[in-house]
Structure 1
Amino acid sequence: MLRKLRHLDLIGYWSLGLGVFVKLSIYSLRKTLYDGQAKAINCQTTAGEITILNNHRPLISIVKNGVIKIIDEKDKEHFVKAISGFLEVKPENEARFIVEE
């Protein structure tokens, strides 16, 4: 089960003026599931649950069955179901998922 992101912690972080959004793209074999800016991305990987914020270290990981939770630049929550897939986080504040839905 996903643990909820601590929204108040994120609000405190963004109020410091440190907020740079992550460019997020989530693709399935059939379509684009999400393409936009994100303040935070939370998902299950084979290494455990992770949350991606701006300036995250580069990473390539396998995504496990679960929900990818996205908080966009307007603090709206989005949820994308993933059966499995891959995640790549690039050093330029960019994250890409290729998932099976």
Structure 2
Amino acid sequence: MGTIFHLDIVSAEESIYSGPAEFIAAPALMGEVGIFPNHTPMLTRIRSGMVRIKAPLKDEEAVYVSGGMLEVQPDVVTILADTAIRGNDLDEAKALEAKRRAEEAMKNKISEIEYARAQAELIEAAAQLTAIQKLRNRGH
């Protein structure tokens, strides 16, 4: 039995992480899942949140994802994220501004489509702010 597996986290824009991992925790649609080496194969949707990565001989890393798919194979785990941002690259000011704009748009909605778009943007901004807060608390 192996003690590591290969992890790839990619978004439409770039590859965020590609390398060995001893463990990951990911925000699956129905709750957080923990993946260790030799995990049972699975395919599941993921929601917005943090993927925690424990790589050999390194501190835990975090990557924010906003939805996508998680695939687990015997020696490879792949996350295909709609958006992926390294935890250290999250911008609290941008997330707060996006949240404010979305809330304003929801108040002034002109159509159901605009309301739904603003609601999705609000959910995304709130998820980023939650991730930033978790990272901040973990650092202390």
TM-score range, shorter chain: 0.7 to 0.9
Number of aligned residue pairs? 83
Given the two structures, how large is their TM-score scaled by the length of structure 1?
A: 0.77
TM-superposed CA distance for 1:48, in Å, is 1.1
Q: Does 1:37 align with 2:30?
A: no
What is the TM-score when the length of structure 2 is the normalising length?
0.57
Q: Deviations over 1:49-72 (max 9, x none)?
A: 110000100000001110000000
Q: Please tell me whether residue 100 in structure 1 is matched to residue 82 in structure 2.
A: yes
Q: Which structure is higher in helix share? A: 2
List gaps (5 residues or longer) in structure 1: 1-17
User: What are the equivalent positions in structure 2 for 1:17-96 lying under 5 Å apart?
Assistant: 20-91=3-74, 93-96=75-78
Greater fraction of residues in strand: 1
- The answer as to whether partners of 1:40 and 1:72 remain within 8 angstroms in 2 is yes
CA RMSD of aligned residues (A): 1.2
In 2: Cα distance, 1:35 partner to 1:63 partner: 18
Identity among equivalent pairs (%): 28
Higher-Rg structure is 2
CA contact (8 A) 2:44 2:69 kept: yes
Paired residue type of 2:57: K
Shift of 1:19: 5.3
Deviation at 1:47, TM superposition (A): 2.2
Q: 4+ residue stretches of structure 1 with deviation over 6 A?
A: none
- Within 2, Cα distance between the matches of 1:86 and 1:98? 5
Structure with bigger RCO (C-alpha 8 Å, 6+ apart): 1
